[in-house]
Chain A
Amino acid sequence: MIEKFSTLYSTAAALEIENIDTDQIIPARFLKATTREGFGEKAFYDWRYDDKGKIREDFPVEEDRWSSSKILVAGKNFGCGSSREHAAWAIYGAGFRVVVSSFFADIFRNNALNNGLLPVRVSDDFLNAIFERVKSNPDTRLIVNLEEQTIKIEGTDMCEEFEVSAYKKECLINGYDDIDYLVSIRDEIEKYENDRK
């Protein structure tokens, strides 16, 4: 089971950087765990912390904002590179439930959806509008409505629709996951195996 998702109001942590790869989201040296827990505090570790483990001042998001926001907004081609699902676990573990970008890498998008983390793809213009708005007022909230498939910028009339497959939408709203479903159709899978022999 994944956590159910409906509507989310939250401020945003904005990373105005393109092509953020999964090695930045969670560096490989942190991949040695055998459970899904504990990755949240390691998210973007080398960008957030210096070599002594102190918070870096040049990280674009303040610590309070980072820990209180449930929406991460990032430049285009987010999540490229390695297929490590640990990237989705890290972002989810850091408290985010939505990632907004104008373009997502395929594997990251699948991994996110399989963990109840909603990737919201918006236009370049809308993404820039979010960045500008958050820059001028970091308290700006975004409203993500999965049922309606819309994202709004609070205090403006800016709203965009986003795409999500009907199947994944149902899974997220109800907290279903694919594995339960696949196990339930093992008979059909076995029939497929026999038919193609």
Chain B
Amino acid sequence: MNTLFDKIWDAHTVKTIAEGTCVLYIDRQYIHEVTSPQAFAGIKKRGVGVFRPSQITASPDHNVPTLNQHLPPTDLLSVSQLEALATNCRENDIEIFAVGTPRNGIVHVVGPETGLTQPGMTIVCGDSHTSTHGAMGAVAFGVGTSEVEMVLASQCIMQTKPRSMRINIDGELKKGVCSKDIILHIISRLGTGGGTGYFVEFAGSAIRSLSMEARMTICNMSIEMGARGGMIAPDEVTFEYLRGREFAPKGQEWDAAVERWKMLKSDDDAIFDREEYFCASDIEPMVTYGTNPGMGVPVNGHIPHIDEVEESSRASFEKALDYMGFASGEPMVGKKIDYVFLGSCTNGRIEDLRLFASYVKGRRKHPKVTAWIVPGSRQVARMAREEGIEETLREAGFEMREPGCSACLAMNGDTIPQGAYCLSTSNRNFEGRQGVGARTILCGPLVAAAAAIEGVITIPEV
């Protein structure tokens, strides 16, 4: 009567010490340039080497420019972080997917697409969106730099086991509703702290019907409701996605692995600490209106009236609307957009680019909209080129950039100006996230495409 999460977690528990604090073994750690330098400095100071370098993979992503990647970045601080990552990997025998090389990209895009991420694994990275990898049936979660250092030093971390939650989404999705809408809908109902303390398994017929990449978008944003991580039991969709990928098992090993992975599911009588139920047909295309991902409404809906907001949250609600330049009760359709950002570990995969391109094909970008189309990895960029997506985009007035985290957190210079509105397929609409004073409205690729064409928030015609 175990949950999938229990099975994987328990199998990776090296030992339990006081009151449920576990020494948890980590199969794979991904690292990037922003949250790892202090961890490497830490082990160096302790005189300890990296314990299992072959189980660590690096991909610089946060700080990399999305134009002219063949030239060195102009920001010297970024350069020093990127160089520190390269040096640390070289000194410690860690594989790095360097900027400009075919495997480079956002760690959470690269891990699955190279086949490094596999069902049943425990995976960490110094990045909260590590939950993305849970879509493949792994226990994957974000950690801080001290924990990155723990894994460098011992391939383990100290953790308290979270409680378990299952979110069931059954039924059929409406036309034009994508997985980003599902997760924005869920977070708008449960709130940004609604999953705190829990590890979530997403289940139900609507989840089963999703592609592998669509599932990643959902697990990616489980952290935005505070959950430690999100996961989906592996199935044929997962196996088909993994088959033949570079680091996936091959031949007999593949067959044996699939047999093992088929066992990875919650028992029928598994008991979760909490269960939530959603009806897929209730979900509409979504946007956010405020300054956290829980402040979401259907595109055709309106910003809540102040009296619809809980009294204790009114001050935060008003602060958010003041920042966004919106008024309570306003409709979202028709709001003017200055920027559109398609990309990030949430929606920077090939399917996202395909969806966006399918909408803008034969249409024309609105002249007042600046659009940044940023593939999540070199591989995504290559596929977009080979499939003619780049050309479709170009014909519609869009330019495809080079891969990286880009405007999701605007560390690399892709910054939205003060006061400008950005319709963004990324994961966070926090104050200043995309630049000081930038106003972020989260949405999926279709809603972003429609707004890029119209210059205002609009319901996509599908």
Contacts and interface: CB of A to CB of B under 8 A. Distances in A.
A19 interface: yes
Interface string A145-169: 0000000000000000000011110
A34 B84 CA distance: 8
B25 A182 contact: no
A31 B154 contact: no
Interface string B424-462: 000010111100100000000000000000000000000
B273 to A, nearest CB: 15
A131 to B, nearest CB: 11
Contacts of B66: none
Interface stretch (B40-48, B264-272, B359-367): B40-48
Nearest to B83: A34
B226 A77 contact: yes
B19 A36 contact: no
A28 B128 contact: no
Nearest to B43: A179
Interface in B1-58: 11, 14-15, 17-21, 23, 25, 34-35, 37-38, 41-43, 46, 48, 51
Interface stretch (A3-11, A65-73, A99-107, A135-143): A99-107
A88 interface: yes
Contact of B193 (A31, A80, A188, A196): A80
Contacts of B430: 21, 23-24, 81
A27 B432 contact: yes
B154 A185 contact: yes
A24 B313 CA distance: 18
Interface string A7-23: 00000000011110101
A197 interface: no
A114 B147 contact: yes
Contact of A186 (B18, B51, B63, B410): B51
B48 A85 contact: no
Interface in B225-256: 226, 228
A197 B16 CA distance: 21
A84 to B, nearest CB: 7
Contacts of A178: 146, 150, 157-158
Contact of B80 (A34, A103, A188): A34
Given A80-B292, A189-B156, A105 B80 contact: no
Q: How large is the interface on B (under 10, 10 to 19, 20 to 34, 35 or more residues)?
A: 35 or more
A82 interface: yes
A189 B154 contact: yes
Given A17-B319, A19-B316, A84-B35, A183 B142 contact: no
B165 to A, nearest CB: 13
Contacts of B145: 85-86, 111
Q: Which of B34, B42, B159, B313 has the most CB of A within 10 A?
A: B34
Contact of B411 (A29, A46, A104, A114): A29
A76 B37 CA distance: 31
Interface string B72-83: 000101101100
Nearest to B52: A193
A157 B155 CA distance: 47
B126 A83 contact: yes
B19 A85 contact: no
A50 B157 CA distance: 40
Contacts of A193: 25, 155
B147 A81 contact: no
A32 B19 contact: no
Contacts of B370: none
Contacts of B409: 23, 28, 82
B154 A182 contact: yes
Interface in B194-234: 196-197, 223-224, 226, 228
B196 A35 contact: no
Contact of A81 (B38, B63, B128, B155): B128
B11 to A, nearest CB: 8
A177 interface: yes
A82 to B, nearest CB: 5
Contact of A83 (B75, B143, B153, B157): B143
B284 interface: no
B338 interface: no
Interface of A: 16-19, 21, 23-24, 27-29, 31-36, 46, 51, 75-77, 80-86, 88, 103-107, 110-111, 114-115, 124, 165-168, 170, 177-183, 185-186, 188-189, 192-193, 196
7 closest Cβ pairs, A-B complex: A85-B144, A111-B144, A32-B77, A114-B146, A182-B154, A34-B37, A83-B142
13 contacts: A18-B313, A21-B428, A24-B431, A27-B432, A76-B193, A82-B128, A83-B127, A85-B35, A165-B18, A179-B42, A179-B150, A189-B14, A192-B25
